[in-house]
Amino acid sequence: MHGPMNRICIFGAGSIGCYVGGRLAACGAPVTLIGRERIGREIAQHGLHLTDWQGATLDVSPDGLRFATTGEAAADAALVLVTVKSADTDAAGQSLARVLRDETVVVSFQNGLDNPKQLKRHLIRQVVLAGMVPFNVVNRGRGAFRQGSEGVLEVERHAALAGFETLFVAAGLPLAQQSDLRPAQWAKLLLNLNNSINALCGLPRKEQLSQRDYRRCVSLAQREALALLEHAGIRPARLTPLPPGWIPTLLSSPDWLFARLANRMLAIDPFARSSMWEDLEAGRRTEVDWLNGEIVRLARGQDRAAPVNARLVELVRAAEAGGERNWRGAAPDDRPMTAISN
């Protein structure tokens, strides 16, 4: 039996939050989702319908979990998973700080590297851990969420997680605990450097990655990041069949060769786009400052520049303010900072 002491709260009932929280609820865990009213209404009407790329299907009825729209609902949580976008982390931290007990464990399952630190600034007495979600989840509407790719949740190792391990295994989401999560976080960030390029070109991800000009932009952004990481002595983990250092070369290959070598990378829903594109569509602030912006900060810390990623940050900021969103990928090799030019 699960009592209130091991209630799990998901702060940010969106794609990741509803999927992970829903899977935990499906195996009997007491779960509270904190999210927006519109998602609450969908769940009240349809429950959650969770599927994955391997054909798994799980249904959670509306009374199989608790839904709330404010942070107070986290007061009785033993574990909180923060799954808001990075721009909302600060507000999430503030809201949680008002109600969490000291012994509550908080895991940030967000992209980028800075979110756990941002949370820690508010949650000074709680254990705050970094987490990493390697797979993607798409919100298909009416309570349906689909995990579209493989991968295992990673989290910083901590004794406080011991009470939850079995539950995550039962939910089909085992936690791979790492003493240092930064190599995995950096590896994920390298892959996420494509999000800005996808958002700026306005094409579905599959179509974008099928075009060498756009892949070259990603390759330039990754090469720049890899050089800075090497200089900083950081070795990104290997999350893909190819080691991170080889991916830029693969991306730069001609279309015919890329299609042969990277069929896994192209095995994506033909209509799927990046969440950064969705943020621009919805007029929300994007996560560009926590992704390409992290590379710019890494460069600054080394008294160096990161012109490709700085340019991508600049273009996404302009797009957030209503600017251009159909950039082409043509990139003269001698002007890499304009990897994207119209």
What is the contact surface with ligand NAP in residues (CB under 6 A)?
A: 12-17, 34-36, 39, 83-86, 88, 91-92, 110-111, 133, 136-137, 139, 275, 287
- Smaller CB distance to ligand NAP: residue 153 or 331? 153
Helix locations, the chain, DSSP H: 15-26, 37-46, 89-97, 115-122, 165-170, 182-201, 205-209, 212-231, 247-252, 255-261, 263-266, 275-281, 292-301, 307-320
Rounded to a whole number of angstroms, the minimum distance from the CB of residue 91 to ligand NAP is 5
- 247 vs 337, which CB is nearer to ligand NAP? 247
Nearer to ligand NAP, 16 or 123 (CB): 16
- Of the pair 43, 298, the CB lying nearest ligand NAP is at 43
Q: Give the Cα separation of 59 and 44 in Å (integer).
A: 13
Q: How far is CA 305 from CA 26, 211, 224, 228, in A?
A: 48, 27, 9, 9
Closer residue to ligand NAP in complex, CB, 171/331: 171
Q: How far is the CB of 66 from ligand NAP (least distance, A)?
A: 14
Question: Which residue is at the shortest CB distance from ligand NAP?
Answer: 14
Find the shortest distance in angstroms from Cβ 195 to ligand NAP: 8
Minimum distance, C-beta of residue 80 to ligand NAP, in the bound complex (Å): 12
In degrees, to the nearest 5, what angle opens at C-alpha 40 toward C-alphas 29 and 77?
35
To the nearest 10°, report the CA torsion of 129, 134, 138, 143: -50
CA 264 to chain centre: 19
Q: How near is the Cβ of 318 to ligand NAP at its closest, in Å?
A: 21
